[in-house]
Structure 1
């Protein structure tokens, strides 16, 4: 906290503090949502599986229109990448410098997380305990890495997208609109014509479109209330129409048993939800920015930013530790969604906060920023490294960490992946990015 206070004290007056708050809040809402929504269920035969509170209480699903905040994180990413690229350009750097510095902030804590879990999963398998809650944990703790993998892909494409943004000039706002239209056309081909695999194109169209809006934010758009209010209203109406008249489910997160998920792959309904969230976020910018001018508030945001990614990576580990402990003690608890269950939520969340804080204290060192060197011209190595890291991290999210000896596999779109292959891809990609450090000889 002392370091956070020092950083807060030297914050330039030109810094957009709202961006830092949005980064923390978006990751924090994801963590809180997982803790509240994920429910571990034990079957009559002793099998263990997870379900979702929103599947048990479907009336709560419209809340995801507000709480599905990943679009906000990608919006912030666009803003941050625009400012980071401008800084690297001023210092004479290029693509390799940008990719290495931005990816490093994600890869270091992710590599530590994956390494620890690979060792734990191997020990579980060697001890013959790869079943029940432990088997479930070795698979599900890796699922949030989909976000890290997709974001790495966005980092890899950010300089090219910035060139497109600058080239578009006064028509730059049309670029994210075009991405949104493309996402809608993909859904037409997916739902009306059953074109296989085409839905995965929306991983690019949806998230790049939101990321492109971040460039507009960095350029000074959304200063007045008129455009944000129009975005909020349009997005809200569009979300209602998509989920009532259209073929989309109500929830903006995946539900057990549903044939269509608005998140995996993203749909046009998520585009509309993102539009409403962006509008709401920009409407709140003025009053919240004034609140962030308070020294104590800003110190808290700075401190939280230094811990957010580590907490995001380890929060499901904390949840499975607490769940395993309650199962070992034979505590079944009230029925999910009952009054007693809701009354216990503050206690449950308090336990998870404490466990996550302990994990953050143990692993936060990997989340510390490093100085960015410039001057490398090994862009080819950087591109290859980004591709390998992106595929490797997404591979972990698909297959998990367990089953190393048993040869557990999963399919990443069309690519068969294993935990070992995913680790090798990330390791090779990180090595290629490291080769780009410093000026080329």
Structure 2
């Protein structure tokens, strides 16, 4: 009996501790599902790693790519729509909490930049140096290039999330003024871009949906936070999920979209929006059970621990997987470690130990680098005159562009030394911008004084 009473107290203390640090009231179901989604992302990427020896040497490939059977499986493991939905829930909750305490939109954006950019700088610096070291050690340029490409692939999420974070105060204002019209307008934009891409065959047009699709799915999280689904009967939610999945089947099996939801990720298509609606309805159905599970297991502390390191896990899991793949190749060359052909019986049999080893190494790396995600923070308000506030907003906008731009450089050009240097310069400016503002202000004032003379 005493233990039963103590568990809710411990959970309440853990929640109060998080609220004291962040100013945000946590939702246990949202926090728990975010951790589950992060585990799914790690497991999926780990299963994609295919290492073997081909006629021309080592092969590092995506083992699940172009597999016909993987299409239906992708409907389950493609969880990025729900990831953005819970991100929208957290974003609107966090911004409203800061706004209630008198914070400005620029201060919110600055807080998000610091939280997201710090771990990214550490990643870019370490990966760039490591790849250069591999090149100097005589590793073939093709292998180094593939490693850099694979490591950089998941960074699209960081670039998009930085952009969304910069727009949150504006998006929340739109949501509060036009909660129905805003997502409908975004949906119209998504459909229009898809139609234009499919009718012209010009694939780059589809990348405009890299913003619109995730803006729309992010907005669904705003409605979740507002309790828009709380009054819906379970029968209605099941119907919404079923109708969404049926529509997804129609537009993929009989329509112009591929069945594989990972293919629909690049570029993002309407399919991800439809899948997101289904995931939202299913998550709403599961929320009471998730909350009950967290309470029964007293899991709030563990969930908070992982949640505070989520971006570090996301950023570092792929470098770890690529590094382990390289270690497997080295062990094959030196010790004769067998490398079973991807998707063969031996390969499937080795996956459990591969997942365990990968998880252990990721955990160790996260313990080392999580300090970058958890350190720092907003250092007080800098509001002053109206002119100063406008200058601060403009500077914050520039910092947001630099932060996202630094990641885009790596996505487009790869992890070469020059590209990494440019990315680090942009990310560094985004992070240190507030410290440069007083210096820039003095220079501007000095220039104005000289001009007036």
**Partner deviation per Cα, 1:375-406 (whole Å, 9 max, x = no partner):** 5431110001101111111221333323x2xx
**Structure 2 match to 1:233:** 242
1:156–1:383 contact (8 Å) kept in structure 2: yes
**Structure 1 match to 2:366:** 360
Matches within 5 A, 1:239-278: 239-253=248-262, 261-278=263-280
Deviation at 1:94, TM superposition (A): 0.9
> Which among 144, 148, 163 is matched to residue 173 of structure 2?
163
1:425 aligns with 2:426: yes
Deviation at 1:131, TM superposition (A): 2.6
3-state secondary structure, aligned to 2:152: coil
Matches within 5 A, 1:60-209: 60-168=70-178, 172-195=179-202, 197-209=204-216
1:112–1:366 contact (8 Å) kept in structure 2: yes
1:48–1:132 contact (8 Å) kept in structure 2: no
**Structure 1 match to 2:229:** 222
Deviation at 1:68, TM superposition (A): 1.0
Separation in 2 of the partners of 1:76 and 1:433?
Answer: 29
Which structure's residues are more often helix, by fraction?
2
Separation in 2 of the partners of 1:337 and 1:47?
Answer: 17
Separation in 1 of the partners of 2:208 and 2:200?
Answer: 15
**Partner deviation per Cα, 1:86-113 (whole Å, 9 max, x = no partner):** 1221222212101111121111111111
2:125–2:420 contact (8 Å) kept in structure 1: no
Separation in 2 of the partners of 1:344 and 1:369?
Answer: 38
- 1:269/1:306 Cα in 2 relative to 1: closer, same or farther (>3 Å)? same
2:149–2:414 contact (8 Å) kept in structure 1: yes
**Structure 1 match to 2:448:** none
Deviation at 1:193, TM superposition (A): 2.7
1:233–1:276 contact (8 Å) kept in structure 2: yes
Q: Which structure 2 segments of 5+ residues have no match? A: 1-9, 384-388, 443-453
> Which among 29, 34, 43 is matched to residue 45 of structure 2?
34
Separation in 2 of the partners of 1:286 and 1:392?
Answer: 40
Separation in 2 of the partners of 1:137 and 1:196?
Answer: 25
1:140–1:400 contact (8 Å) kept in structure 2: no
**Structure 2 match to 1:315:** 317
RMSD between aligned residues = 2.6
**Partner deviation per Cα, 1:338-389 (whole Å, 9 max, x = no partner):** 3332221111111101111221122111121645434543111000110111
**Structure 2 match to 1:341:** 347
Separation in 1 of the partners of 2:95 and 2:111?
Answer: 10
1:143–1:400 contact (8 Å) kept in structure 2: no
**Count of residues in correspondence between the two structures:** 413
Deviation at 1:32, TM superposition (A): 0.9
**Structure 1 match to 2:397:** 383
Runs of 4+ in 1 over 4 A off after TM superposition: 3-6, 8-14, 433-437
2:81–2:217 contact (8 Å) kept in structure 1: yes
Q: State the TM-score, normalizing by the size of structure 2.
A: 0.84
- 1:341/1:127 Cα in 2 relative to 1: closer, same or farther (>3 Å)? closer
Deviates more, 1:196-205 or 1:71-80: 196-205
2:320–2:358 contact (8 Å) kept in structure 1: yes
Separation in 1 of the partners of 2:203 and 2:351?
Answer: 41
Deviates more, 1:333-342 or 1:351-360: 333-342
**Partner deviation per Cα, 1:130-185 (whole Å, 9 max, x = no partner):** 535444223321221110001000011111111111111xxx13422332232112
2:158–2:407 contact (8 Å) kept in structure 1: yes
3-state secondary structure, aligned to 1:40: strand
